[in-house]
Amino acid sequence: MHGLMLYRRFGRAQSLCSDRAERTLGRYVATEIWLELGCYVAIERNTRSVAA
């Protein structure tokens, strides 16, 4: 019985850790996308103003 309880606790702890890691990774990816998009928009604006 103790082995099963330990497995359940470990499983829950592992699940919490992976959720936290996924959230952190999600934030990082979202930030990267926004930075990429921001750079792209800035470059587009600069080329348009130079061309005009």
Residue, of 46 and 52, whose pLDDT is higher: 46
pTM, to two decimals: 0.35
Question: What pLDDT digit, counting tens, does each position of 9-47 carry?
Answer: 555 555 555 667 677 777 888 788 887 777 667 767 776
Is residue 50 scored above 50 in pLDDT?
A: yes
pLDDT for the residue numbered 4: 47
Question: What pLDDT digit, counting tens, does each position of 29-38 carry?
Answer: 878 888 777 7
Name the residue ranges covered by the structural domains of the chain. Answer: 1-52
User: What does the H/E/C string look like for the chain?
Assistant: CHHHHHHHHHHHHHHHHHHHHHHHHHHHHHHHHHHHHHHHHHHHHHHHHHHC
pLDDT for the residue numbered 11: 52
